[in-house]
């Protein structure tokens, strides 16, 4: 099992450009999440999904969109990148919530917006 994989690993964008980050999991998990990690800020939830075809806003959703067309994939889109979106982005998935909700993280995507 590959677990949670993320594509790409690293990307540089110019302000105003768009891009899509891809997350894939092979654990048949229902729930998937996108976080951003910034120094001194911990992990902040951007968007999440509780099943195929569903998405919901997290703590810091502005400037991002997501889609979950297939159970195993969760896409994070930046329509018009801005320098404050420079961050490391992590995708995670879980089987359920509460005590069954151990989240498994991908290796991250480092994004630099110039």
Partner 1 sequence: QQQVKQSPQSLIVQKGGISIINCAYENTAFDYFPWYQQFPGKGPALLIAIRPDVSEKKEGRFTISFNKSAKQFSLHIMDSQPGDSATYFCAKIIAAGTYKYIFGTGTRLKVLA
Q: Are 101 and 92 in contact (CB under 8 A)?
A: no
State yes or no: residue 24 binds partner 1 (CB under 8 A): no
**Rounded Cα gap, residues 75 and 94, in angstroms:** 16
State yes or no: residue 40 binds partner 1 (CB under 8 A): yes
**Rounded Cα gap, residues 102 and 91, in angstroms:** 13
Give whichever of 19 and 45 is closer to partner 1, judged by the CB atom: 45
The footprint of partner 1 on this chain (CB under 8 A) covers a number of residues equal to: 28
By CB under 8 A, name the binding residues for partner 1. 4, 31, 33, 40-45, 48, 50, 58-59, 90, 92, 94, 96-99, 101-108
């Amino acid at each position: 099992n590959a677990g949670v994989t993320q594509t790409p690993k690293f990307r540089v964008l110019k302000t105003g450009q768009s891009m899509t980050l891809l997350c894939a999991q092979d654990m048949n998990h229902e729930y998937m999440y996108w976080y951003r990690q910034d120094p001194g800020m911990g992990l902040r939830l951007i968007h999440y999904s509780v099943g195929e075809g569903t998405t919901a806003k997290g703590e810091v959703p502005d400037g991002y969109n997501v889609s979950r067309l297939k159970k195993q994939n969760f896409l994070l889109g930046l329509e018009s990148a801005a320098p404050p979106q420079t961050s490391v982005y992590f995708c995670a998935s879980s089987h359920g919530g509460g005590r069954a909700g151990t989240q498994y993280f991908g290796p991250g995507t480092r994004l630099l917006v110039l």
